[in-house]
C-alpha cells in the first residue's frame, strides 16, 4: 500500500475511533458544570461533529490526491499512432534523422536511448588559448547566417554555415535497406569566404558517436595507431560501422593530408558534452603536411585503450570523438553502414562515398527542386529566383528543425483552487516521446504546443505523413483529464537550456488549440491516409477539446477565461497572460475571475466547429449532437455581440476589471513601479486595439454580410492603428500600451511588432472573404493583395540582408527582431507566397 493511501486510511480510522470514544463518554469527557459524565445525547452529537470533520478533511485530501494523480497519468484512449511507431520495423525511413535541432549538425535515432552522432569544429590559431569550439546553436556565438538550403524531412539535406572567414557546407543522405533504418553518409566541406583575404586557416573537425546505455563501441586501429573505423552493436540497430574517410580537396577525390586525434571515454551526459571536449583540448600537436612548414594546433590527448578510462563510466554509455585537422579548403566524409543493409542482397552495396555520394546528393537536390515547384508553384506564380530560394529555405529550415525528444516533464496539478492559493509540489509526468518541429534552433529548440499547429500547416503541404507523426505524438501527451502541456521540456539536453522557473508546466494552463488548423485541412483535403489517422485520433482530439472548453470556462455561459495570468505585481504594467500565446498583449489591468477573453472564445468556437465536422464525417453521432449546438451558439452573432462587442470602442474586445490609468513610474530605489491613477478600475471592455480585436475575423467566424466585418476591415487597414508597410501590427499605434515595456527589464513583445503567424491568419481570412459574395468582398480581396505584398516583401528583404528568418519584425522599419533563426511559424511566408490558406 502506498504511503499516501496508508495515511488516508489512518485519518479515517482515527476519526472513527475519536467519535466512538466521544459517544461512549470515555475518560476525560466531562462537562463544565459538575464534573459528571456527559449525557448520551451530548456524546452522540460530539461524535457526529468529529466524524464529519474527519470525513470532510479526508474527503478533500482524497480529492486533491485524485487530481494530482490524474495530472500525471496518461490518457486511456487508444493511441493515434501504431505501437512502436518510431521503431525501424514500423517506420524505417524516419528512424535516423537530424533530430537534434539545437546542434549545428548531428543525427540520432528515434529511440528513448538513441545512438547519437554530431559535429563540432574549431578554427585553430585565431586566439590565444583554447579555440572557439562550435557545437550547439547559440544566439550570441557570432556564427551566421546558417540554415538548410535543402531538407526533405526524410533522407537528404544540405546546410550552409558562415563562421567568420569560414564557409561550411554540411550534407547528408540516407540509403534505405535492411531492417534497421539503412545506411547514411555525411559530407562536410570547409572553404574560405569568397571575400576573405587572410591566410588560409587551419581547422579541426570533430566527429563524435555516443551511446546512452550498455551498448558497446569498438574502435578498430590501423598498424600506425590511426583509427580505421568504429564498429558496434545495439538491439535496435544490430551491427553497424562508422568510417571517417580520408579528407580531399572540395570536388576532388585525391586525398589531402590531415592530422588525427581521438578521444574515448564514458558518456558525460549531453549537457556537459561541449564543455568536456573544450577542456580536453589541452595538448599541443604539430600539423606537418609534406613540403609545408609545420603548424601547431590544440588537439585531444586521447587513447583508444578503454582501460585507460575511468571505470566509473561503465554502464552509462560511451563517447568516442575523432578530430581531423587540416588546411582549408577541404571536404571530409563520415559514413554509417548498417550490417543488415549490407547483408540484404547477394552482393555488398558500394560504400556511399566519393563520386557515388556526389551523384546521390545531386540527384536528391534536383528531386527536391522539382517536388518543391510541383507543391508550391512559386515559379509559376512569377516569383523571382531569389524569392523561390527563400521559400525553399523556409521549408527546409522548418523540416531541418524537427526533433525527437524523450523524457519526463514537470507538472503542477490543478487542485481546483486559484493558483495563488495552491500549495503543492510539481510531479514528474510519465516518460514520453515527442516528434515535433521547433520554433528556433538557437533559442527555443523544443516543442511548443501553439507553435506546432502553425508549423504543421507548412509541413502538411509537403509531407502529410510527417504531420500525422507529429500530431500523433502531441496527442500522445494527453493526461487523464485531456490536458497537454504548452511547453515540452523532455530530457536532460532540453532541460539544460531552460531557466528553472519555466521548467514546470501547470495542468490548469491551456494554449491556443492550433493543432486543429492542420486537422481542419486534413478533413477538407480528404486524403484516405489522413482520414484514417483522424478516425484513430478522434477520441483524443475530443478529450483535448473537452478539457479546453470546460477548464477555461468563463464567468457567464459561452464566455472563456485564460487561466494563469500573472498576479498584479507592483513592477508589472499589465500582468501577462502567457497561456494565450500572446504573452504581454494588454488585458484587463486588474486580473479577476470576471474576465472574458475574446481570443479564447474564438479558439473554442473554431474547435467546436472542427470537432463537429469531424464527428459528423466519422459517424460519431453522440459527439456531433453534443458539439453541434455549442458550435452554433459560439458562432452566433448575437452571443458574440452580447459578450464582446464594445459599442463605445467600435470593436470586439476583452472584458474585465480595468482602467487605462496605469503606468510605470520611477520610484527609487525600487526602480520602475506600477502606479494606478483615476479612474479606478471597474468592470468594462478593455481598450487594447490589436490582434485580439481581430480574432472573429482571423478565424473566419463572421458571416460575410456581418455588420461587424466593415469596422474590423477599417481598423485593419488604418495606418494609425494596425496597418504598416511591413504587415499588421500586434497592437495599434494609437494604443497607450504601444511599444511600452511591461517592466523595467521586460521590453515590449506583442505590443506593436509584426508577427507572421497572425498575419498569415489575416491573409487567409481576407482571401476567404474576398471569395464570398457580400458587401466587403472587393475590399477584402484588395487588402489581401496589399498585405501579402507587404509581408512577403519585407521578409524577403530582411532575408537578403541578414540570411535569417526572424521571430518578429519591426512595424517601424521592417527589421528582423527577437531571436534568429526563427524557422517556426515564420516559415508561413512560404504559404503566403503560394497563396495557400
pLDDT tens, position by position, 77-95:
999 999 899 999 999 999 9
DSSP bridge partners of 504? 410
Is there a single domain that holds both residue 408 and residue 348?
A: no
Is there a single domain that holds both residue 366 and residue 490?
A: no
What are the phi and psi torsion angles at 186 (to 5°)? -110, 155
Region 335-357: mean pLDDT is 86
| pLDDT at residue 316, rounded to an integer | 76
Mean pLDDT across the chain: 90
Interatomic CA distance for residues 327 and 249, integer angstroms: 10
Interatomic CA distance for residues 210 and 278, integer angstroms: 17
pTM for the full model?
0.91
Q: Which of 780, 574, 781 is nearest to 692 (CA)?
A: 574
Grade residue 345 by pLDDT with cuts at 50, 70 and 90. low
Pick the catalytic residue from 171, 487, 493, 807. Answer: 807
Does some domain include residue 504? yes
Is there a single domain that holds both residue 297 and residue 174?
A: yes
Interatomic CA distance for residues 73 and 703, integer angstroms: 42
Does some domain include residue 592? no
C-alpha cell at 73: 497519468
Q: Which of 397, 242, 356 is nearest to 825 (CA)?
A: 397
Interatomic CA distance for residues 785 and 697, integer angstroms: 17
C-alpha pair distances (Å), 385 with each of 373, 681, 796: 12, 55, 12
Q: Is pLDDT of 374 > 70? A: yes
Is residue 31 annotated as part of the catalytic site, yes or no?
A: no
Is there a single domain that holds both residue 344 and residue 422?
A: no
Number of domains into which the chain is organized: 2
Does some domain include residue 187? yes
Mean pLDDT is lowest, of 268-282, 519-533, 684-698, for 268-282
Interatomic CA distance for residues 741 and 572, integer angstroms: 9
Is there a single domain that holds both residue 367 and residue 410?
A: no
Q: Is pLDDT of 55 > 70? A: no
pLDDT digits (tens, 9 = 90+) for 708-719: 999 999 999 999
Is there a single domain that holds both residue 241 and residue 294?
A: yes
Mean pLDDT is lowest, of 170-184, 337-351, 625-639, for 337-351
Does some domain include residue 301? yes
Grade residue 308 by pLDDT with cuts at 50, 70 and 90. very low
**567 or 19: which carries more pLDDT confidence?**
567
What letter does residue 313 receive in the DSSP assignment? G
* CATH number of the domain residue 217 falls in: 2.70.98.110
Q: 131 near 296, Cβ under 8 Å?
A: no
Grade residue 492 by pLDDT with cuts at 50, 70 and 90. confident
Region 665-678: mean pLDDT is 93
Is residue 807 annotated as part of the catalytic site, yes or no?
A: yes
Half-sphere exposure of 265 (CA within 13 A, CB side): 15
Q: 468 near 533, Cβ under 8 Å?
A: yes
C-alpha cell at 383: 516569383
Q: 731 near 758, Cβ under 8 Å?
A: no
C-alpha cell at 135: 557545437
Helix (H, G, I), strand (E, B) or coil at 640: helix
Is there a single domain that holds both residue 195 and residue 313?
A: yes
Q: Is pLDDT of 305 > 80? A: no
| pLDDT at residue 789, rounded to an integer | 98
| Residue 259 domain boundaries | 96-376
Does some domain include residue 352? yes
Count of CB atoms situated within 10 Å of the CB of 224: 6
Does some domain include residue 813? no
Is there a single domain that holds both residue 238 and residue 368?
A: yes
C-alpha cell at 340: 543488415
Interatomic CA distance for residues 743 and 748, integer angstroms: 9
Interatomic CA distance for residues 176 and 138, integer angstroms: 33
Count of CB atoms situated within 10 Å of the CB of 636: 14
Is there a single domain that holds both residue 421 and residue 277?
A: no
Q: 137 near 102, Cβ under 8 Å?
A: yes
Interatomic CA distance for residues 325 and 307, integer angstroms: 26
Mean pLDDT is lowest, of 197-211, 295-309, 367-381, 400-414, for 295-309
Helix (H, G, I), strand (E, B) or coil at 292: coil
Is there a single domain that holds both residue 410 and residue 490?
A: yes
Region 366-393: mean pLDDT is 98
Pick the catalytic residue from 566, 583, 626, 836. Answer: 583
C-alpha pair distances (Å), 809 with each of 514, 756, 830: 22, 8, 16
Is there a single domain that holds both residue 532 and residue 625?
A: yes
Q: Which of 766, 772, 736, 737 is nearest to 751 (CA)?
A: 737
Where does a domain end: 614, 632, 650?
632
Where does a domain end: 616, 632, 648?
632
| pLDDT at residue 346, rounded to an integer | 54
Does some domain include residue 272? yes
The dihedral over CA atoms of 674, 680, 683, 685, expressed in degrees to the nearest 10, equals: -70
Does some domain include residue 804? no
| pLDDT at residue 699, rounded to an integer | 98
C-alpha cell at 415: 487542485
Is there a single domain that holds both residue 328 and residue 419?
A: no
Q: Which of 429, 412, 413 is nearest to 504 (CA)?
A: 412
What are the phi and psi torsion angles at 721 (to 5°)? -115, -90
Amino acid at each position: 500500500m502506498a504511503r499516501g493511501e496508508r495515511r488516508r486510511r489512518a485519518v479515517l480510522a482515527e476519526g472513527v475511533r475519536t467519535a466512538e470514544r466521544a459517544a461512549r463518554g470515555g475518560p476525560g469527557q466531562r462537562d463544565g458544570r459538575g464534573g459528571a459524565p456527559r449525557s448520551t445525547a451530548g456524546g452522540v452529537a460530539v461524535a457526529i461533529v468529529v466524524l464529519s470533520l474527519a470525513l470532510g478533511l479526508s474527503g478533500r485530501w482524497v480529492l486533491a490526491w485524485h487530481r494530482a494523480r490524474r495530472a500525471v497519468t496518461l490518457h486511456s484512449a487508444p493511441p493515434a499512432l501504431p505501437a512502436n511507431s518510431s521503431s525501424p520495423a514500423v517506420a524505417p525511413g524516419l528512424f535516423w534523422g537530424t533530430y537534434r535541432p539545437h546542434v549545428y549538425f548531428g543525427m540520432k535515432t528515434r529511440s528513448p536511448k538513441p545512438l547519437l552522432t554530431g559535429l563540432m569544429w574549431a578554427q585553430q590559431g585565431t586566439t590565444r588559448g583554447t579555440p572557439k569550439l562550435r557545437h550547439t546553436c547559440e544566439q550570441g556565438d557570432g556564427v551566421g547566417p546558417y540554415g538548410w538550403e535543402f531538407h526533405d524531412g526524410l533522407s537528404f539535406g544540405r546546410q550552409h554555415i558562415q563562421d567568420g572567414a569560414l564557409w561550411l557546407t554540411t550534407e547528408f543522405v540516407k540509403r534505405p535497406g535492411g531492417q534497421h533504418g539503412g545506411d547514411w553518409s555525411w559530407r562536410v566541406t570547409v572553404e574560405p569566404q569568397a571575400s576573405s583575404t587572410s591566410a588560409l586557416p587551419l581547422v579541426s573537425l570533430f566527429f563524435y558517436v555516443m551511446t546512452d546505455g550498455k551498448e558497446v563501441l569498438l574502435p578498430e586501429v590501423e598498424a600506425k595507431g590511426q583509427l580505421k573505423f568504429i564498429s558496434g552493436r545495439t538491439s535496435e540497430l544490430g551491427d553497424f560501422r562508422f568510417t571517417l574517410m580520408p579528407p580531399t580537396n572540395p570536388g576532388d577525390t585525391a586525398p589531402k593530408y590531415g592530422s588525427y586525434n581521438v578521444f574515448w571515454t564514458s558518456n558525460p551526459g549531453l549537457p556537459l558534452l561541449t564543455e568536456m571536449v573544450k577542456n580536453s583540448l589541452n595538448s599541443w600537436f604539430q600539423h606537418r603536411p609534406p613540403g609545408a612548414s609545420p603548424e601547431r594546433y590544440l588537439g585531444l590527448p586521447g587513447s583508444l585503450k578503454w582501460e585507460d578510462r575511468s571505470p566509473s563510466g561503465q554502464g552509462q554509455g560511451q563517447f568516442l570523438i575523432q578530430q581531423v585537422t587540416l588546411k582549408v579548403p577541404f571536404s571530409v566524409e563520415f559514413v554509417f553502414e548498417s550490417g543488415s543493409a549490407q547483408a540484404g542482397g547477394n552482393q555488398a552495396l558500394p560504400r556511399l562515398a566519393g563520386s557515388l555520394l556526389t551523384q546521390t546528393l545531386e540527384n536528391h537536390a534536383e528531386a527536391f527542386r522539382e517536388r518543391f515547384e510541383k507543391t508550391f508553384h512559386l515559379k509559376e506564380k512569377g516569383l523571382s529566383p531569389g524569392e523561390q530560394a527563400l521559400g525553399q529555405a523556409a521549408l527546409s529550415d522548418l523540416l531541418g528543425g524537427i526533433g525527437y525528444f524523450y523524457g519526463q516533464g514537470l507538472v503542477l496539478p490543478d487542485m481546483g483552487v486559484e493558483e495563488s492559493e495552491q500549495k503543492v509540489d510539481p510531479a514528474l509526468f510519465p516518460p514520453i516521446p515527442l516528434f515535433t518541429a521547433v520554433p528556433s534552433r538557437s533559442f527555443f529548440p523544443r516543442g511548443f504546443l501553439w507553435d506546432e499547429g502553425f508549423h504543421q500547416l507548412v509541413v502538411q503541404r509537403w509531407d502529410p505523413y510527417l504531420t500525422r507523426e507529429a500530431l500523433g505524438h502531441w496527442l500522445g501527451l494527453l493526461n487523464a483529464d485531456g490536458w497537454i502541456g504548452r511547453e515540452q521540456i523532455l530530457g536532460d539536453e532540453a532541460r539544460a537550456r531552460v531557466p528553472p522557473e519555466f521548467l514546470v508546466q501547470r495542468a490548469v494552463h491551456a494554449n491556443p488549440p492550433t493543432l486543429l488548423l492542420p486537422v481542419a485541412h486534413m478533413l477538407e483535403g480528404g486524403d484516405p491516409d489522413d482520414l484514417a489517422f483522424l478516425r484513430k485520433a478522434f477520441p483524443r482530439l475530443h478529450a483535448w477539446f473537452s478539457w479546453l472548453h470546460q477548464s477555461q470556462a468563463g464567468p457567464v455561459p459561452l464566455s472563456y477565461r485564460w487561466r494563469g495570468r500573472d498576479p498584479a505585481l507592483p513592477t508589472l504594467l499589465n500582468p501577462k497572460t502567457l497561456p494565450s500565446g500572446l504573452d504581454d498583449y494588454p488585458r484587463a489591468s486588474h486580473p479577476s475571475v470576471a474576465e472574458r477573453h475574446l481570443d479564447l472564445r474564438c479558439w473554442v468556437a473554431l474547435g467546436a466547429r472542427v470537432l463537429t465536422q469531424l464527428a459528423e464525417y466519422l459517424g460519431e453521432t453522440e459527439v456531433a449532437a453534443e458539439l453541434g449546438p455549442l458550435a452554433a451558439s459560439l458562432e452566433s452573432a448575437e452571443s458574440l455581440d452580447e459578450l464582446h462587442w464594445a459599442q463605445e470602442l467600435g470593436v470586439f474586445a476583452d472584458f474585465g476589471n480595468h482602467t487605462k490609468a496605469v503606468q510605470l513610474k520611477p520610484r527609487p530605489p525600487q526602480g520602475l513601479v506600477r502606479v494606478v491613477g483615476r479612474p479606478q478600475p471597474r468592470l468594462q471592455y478593455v481598450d487594447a486595439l490589436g490582434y485580439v480585436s481581430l480574432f472573429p475575423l482571423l478565424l473566419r467566424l463572421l458571416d460575410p454580410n456581418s455588420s461587424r466585418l466593415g469596422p474590423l476591415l477599417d481598423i485593419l487597414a488604418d495606418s494609425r492603428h494596425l496597418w504598416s508597410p511591413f504587415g499588421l501590427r500586434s497592437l495599434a499605434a494609437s494604443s497607450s500600451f504601444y511599444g511600452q515595456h511591461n517592466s523595467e527589464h521586460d521590453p515590449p513583445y506583442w505590443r506593436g511588432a509584426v508577427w507572421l503567424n497572425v498575419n498569415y491568419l489575416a491573409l487567409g481570412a481576407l482571401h476567404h472573404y474576398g471569395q464570398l459574395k457580400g458587401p466587403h468582398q472587393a475590399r477584402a480581396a484588395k487588402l489581401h493583395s496589399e498585405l501579402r505584398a507587404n509581408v512577403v516583401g519585407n521578409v524577403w528583404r530582411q532575408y537578403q540582408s541578414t540570411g535569417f528568418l526572424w521571430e518578429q519584425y519591426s512595424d517601424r522599419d521592417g527589421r528582423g527582431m527577437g531571436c534568429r533563426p526563427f524557422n517556426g511559424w515564420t516559415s508561413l511566408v512560404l504559404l503566403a507566397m503560394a497563396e495557400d490558406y
